[in-house]
Amino acid sequence: MSNFATQAAGVAAYRQRRTPKQSEAEVFAQANRAIAAANAGSELDHARAVADNRRLWTAVHASVADPSNALPQELRGQIAGVALVVIRECNNPAPDLAFVASINEQFAAGLWS
């Protein structure tokens, strides 16, 4: 088996052991990796990070707005509020990606715990 195939098998095994919450945390971590790349990269990297984070938080908002979501109503409302703030920040002409990254980190940490 090639080194690449061995690594791919290891990654697949790791993903199978993650809980759904850990998988969700990984999405926030991935969004933050895009922000880090944007800070060290081009305008295109920056635009991509903003768009990816806007899309992530739009999906979060849609999820908690869904009446079939099993989270408590109060928590869903709080998450929806945070999502709207992040979406609004991403829609700014010069979004504060450090702020967005800090929110992503907090949500990822909560999902990993």
| Residue 49 lies inside a defined structural domain of this protein | yes
Read off the pLDDT of residues 71-110 as tens digits, 9 standing for 90 and up. 999 999 999 999 999 999 999 999 999 999 999 999 999 9
| Residue 34 lies inside a defined structural domain of this protein | yes
| Residue 75 lies inside a defined structural domain of this protein | yes
**Model pTM score:** 0.83
Total of domains in the chain: 1
Cβ contact 83:60 at 8 Å? yes
Average pLDDT over residues 53-72: 97
| Residue 35 lies inside a defined structural domain of this protein | yes
Length of the chain: 113
**pLDDT value of position 9:** 45
| Residue 36 lies inside a defined structural domain of this protein | yes
Q: Name the residue range of residue 91's domain.
A: 20-112
| Residue 1 lies inside a defined structural domain of this protein | no
CA dist 30 and 15 (Å) reads: 14
**pLDDT value of position 2:** 61
| Residue 13 lies inside a defined structural domain of this protein | no
